[in-house]
């Protein structure tokens, strides 16, 4: 990938190509002074509130994650810090598909949305942003038991079966989150997006493995509590990054339930505060619950159950033979005998792999029309065909350039001239035939010699079935691309002027300008930007710390108090900000 920056982080460097395609540059220079002020306000509020209600590693975890209260984090700083605990981080464009998100976790790489929420969504945004991802996820990763859970969850989630409805829901969520971050969004367009999301949520059908797994992810990684039901602490990133919900979630009306496998039965709505939250006694319990769910999944159950799930998903899936051979493609059908699959068939481009590496000359260009093969033991054989040595093969007439007839216990017969054998790790995995005919127990033709070479997979059982290709980089040249892109505003002159005022206030706070200039900044702010409140709060903070210009200080307090009273939507934000200024409780972490 041209121009790929791995930040000298080993975990980022290990990412496969199909995941690298989601990465975007952070473009740190595009963050405006208002963006930095939004970050600083949220982080100061978090520091003041979360030191009492967050799981104890959160506060020291900020520093371990390379985060500062004062400014938006730079990905290089974050990677330098996370690299010390075996993690990395990259920036992406908003929501990415759930399967990809899970796989990043498996590689121990945090996915961080490059954008930051607008000022009018400072308390909460349904869109992923750099506050949610870095200030929410990154600090808690310093806890060893937690980051073990996070990476293990990713490895499980990367193999979860997903459906077309899952992708439709993902696109609806992504589209709505983008609209909600647009300052001048058409109300009718927003309502249509909300209606579409609601419709898709209500018409998902039977939830897929990915949908169920996403619920466990939501109630732990995003909205999890830890401790006792009577005295829980916050560790979920959605709560840690929302100054609104981190306070509201502790109210009695938000039910607190023990975290068990029963959480998989609770759906969620990203657009509303959660009516209940789940409390785990420790992080080990998270792994226990995940393990319980994983035991129900296709990748562990395999067999007919897994193959049917693959057919239902209508996505690229992989079936793994007991020999280790991996067959990837869109599964169309299978023949079953005594509850076990005895013949499988894919349709369209398919590929064969071993140990997640595509076999030479067995990619989807070669198997462009699908792949089919029997499963099971040869009739009368003492051991599985995959364990046959040279003498066993000769006994059954399976020698290169010789005619062979293989009859399986299921009644499937493969008859043709052997052309090649493939072994890996001591297991026979593939036998290729020319002039081959394959029939089932009833004599129906499953493969005709006129169709070309027949490559027969070898394996007694299908031990695993999961979504996605075995060798994703070979199979998926282009990653799934979302239908929408995040909104990046073009600022008008008035907004640019306001950004400059924020920038001048920052310079003064960083001792790069004179405090005496705050009076003229205030005058310009109140005349040209009377609806702004955060810049006024930042001016007030500096005046309070410097113990200067008491008259101006009183004027700004009166202005903010009046605005809080007149605008209920700003009341809590302004009141909390005034309390911070009054008590001076939030000190920079880094």
Question: Based on the number of CB atoms within 10 Å of its own CB, is 97 exposed (0-12), middle (13-18) or buried (19 or more)?
Answer: buried
Report helix, strand or coil for 195: helix
Report the distance separating Cα 230 and Cα 38, nearest Å: 33
User: What is the CB neighbour count within 10 angstroms for residue 22?
Assistant: 21
Residue 459 DSSP code: -
Q: Taking the CA atoms of the chain, what radius of gyration do you get in angstroms?
A: 29
Got the DSSP string for 410-436?
TS-EEEEEEEEEEEETTEEEEEEEEEE
Report the distance separating Cα 437 and Cα 537, nearest Å: 80
* Inter-residue contact 188 to 128 (CB < 8 Å): no
Residue 265 contacts by C-beta under 8 Å, 6 or more apart in sequence? 215
Q: How far is CA 44 from each of CA 98, 241, 508, rounded to the nearest angstrom?
A: 31, 11, 18
Give the CA dihedral 495, 500, 505, 509, nearest 10 degrees.
130
Q: How far is CA 582 from each of CA 539, 545, 573, 579, rounded to the nearest angstrom?
A: 13, 10, 14, 5
* Inter-residue contact 372 to 447 (CB < 8 Å): yes
What the block records as the tokens of 49 is: 């509130």
* Inter-residue contact 48 to 585 (CB < 8 Å): yes
What is Dmax (Cα atoms) for the chain? 102
CA 213 to chain centre: 11
Pairing of strands 225-227, 232-234: antiparallel
Which has the closest alpha carbon to 440: 404, 408, 403, 405?
408
Got the DSSP string for 470-509?
SSHHHH-SS----S-----PPPPHHHHHHHHHHHHHHHHH
3 state SS for 252-277: CCCEEEECCHHHHHCCCCCCCCCCEE
Report the distance separating Cα 518 and Cα 508, nearest Å: 8
Report the distance separating Cα 68 and Cα 82, nearest Å: 14
Is 132 part of any known ligand binding site? yes
Is 137 part of any known ligand binding site? yes
Binding-site annotation: residue ranges? 132, 137, 222
Binding-site annotation: residue ranges for Fe cation? 132, 137, 222
């Amino acid at each position: 990938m041209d121009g790929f920056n791995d930040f000298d982080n080993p975990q980022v460097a290990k990412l496969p190509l199909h995941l690298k395609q989601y990465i975007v540059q952070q473009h740190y220079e595009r963050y405006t002074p208002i963006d930095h002020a939004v970050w600083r306000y949220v982080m100061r509020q978090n520091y003041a509130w979360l030191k009492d209600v967050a799981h104890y590693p959160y506060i020291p975890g900020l520093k371990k994650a390379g985060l500062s209260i004062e400014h938006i984090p730079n990905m290089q700083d974050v990677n330098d810090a996370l690299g010390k605990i075996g993690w990395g981080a990259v920036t992406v464009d908003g929501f990415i598909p759930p399967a990809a998100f899970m796989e990043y976790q498996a590689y121990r790489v945090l996915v961080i949305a490059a954008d930051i929420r607008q000022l009018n969504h400072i308390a909460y945004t349904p869109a992923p942003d750099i506050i949610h991802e870095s200030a929410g996820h990154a600090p808690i990763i310093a806890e060893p038991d937690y980051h073990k859970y996070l990476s293990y969850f990713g490895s499980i989630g990367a193999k979860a079966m997903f459906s077309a409805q899952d992708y439709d829901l993902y696109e609806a969520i992504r589209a709505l989150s983008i609209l909600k971050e647009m300052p001048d969004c058409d109300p009718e367009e927003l309502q249509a997006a909300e209606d579409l999301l609601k419709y898709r949520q209500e018409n998902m059908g039977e939830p897929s493995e990915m949908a169920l797994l996403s619920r466990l992810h939501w109630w732990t990684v995003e909205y999890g509590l830890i401790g006792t039901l009577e005295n829980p602490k916050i560790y979920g990133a959605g709560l840690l990054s929302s100054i609104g919900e981190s306070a509201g979630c502790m109210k009695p009306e938000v039910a607190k339930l023990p975290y068990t496998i029963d959480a998989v039965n609770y759906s969620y709505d990203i657009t509303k505060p959660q009516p209940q939250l789940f409390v785990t006694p420790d992080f080990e319990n998270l792994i226990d619950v995940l393990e319980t769910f994983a035991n129900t999944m296709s990748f562990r159950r395999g067999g007919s159950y897994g193959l049917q799930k693959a057919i239902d998903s209508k996505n690229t899936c992989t079936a793994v033979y007991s020999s280790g051979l991996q067959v990837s493609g869109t599964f169309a059908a299978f023949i079953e005998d005594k509850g076990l699959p005895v013949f499988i068939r894919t349709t369209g481009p398919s590929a064969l792999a071993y140990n997640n590496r595509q076999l030479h000359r067995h990619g989807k260009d070669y198997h462009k029309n699908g792949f089919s093969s029997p499963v099971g033991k040869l009739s009368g054989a003492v051991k599985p065909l995959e364990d046959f040595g040279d003498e066993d093969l000769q006994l059954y007439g399976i020698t290169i350039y010789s005619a062979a007839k293989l009859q399986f216990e299921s009644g499937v017969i493969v008859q043709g001239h052997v052309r090649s054998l493939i072994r890996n790790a001591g297991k026979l995995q593939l036998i290729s035939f020319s002039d081959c005919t394959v029939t089932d127990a009833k004599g129906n033709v499953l493969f005709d010699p006129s169709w070309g070479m027949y490559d027969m997979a070898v394996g007694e059982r299908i031990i695993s079935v999961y979504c996605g290709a075995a060798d994703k980089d070979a199979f998926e040249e282009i990653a799934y691309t979302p239908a929408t892109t995040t909104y990046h505003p073009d600022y008008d002159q008035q907004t640019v002027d306001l950004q400059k005022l924020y920038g001048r206030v920052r310079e003064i706070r960083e001792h790069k300008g004179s405090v005496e200039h705050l009076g003229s900044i205030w005058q310009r702010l109140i005349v040209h930007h009377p609806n702004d409140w955060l810049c006024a709060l930042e001016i007030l903070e500096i005046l309070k710390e410097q113990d200067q210009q008491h008259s101006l200080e009183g004027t700004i307090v009166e202005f903010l108090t009046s605005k809080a009273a007149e605008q209920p939507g700003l009341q809590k934000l302004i009141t909390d900000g005034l309390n911070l200024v009054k008590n001076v409780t939030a000190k920079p972490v880094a």
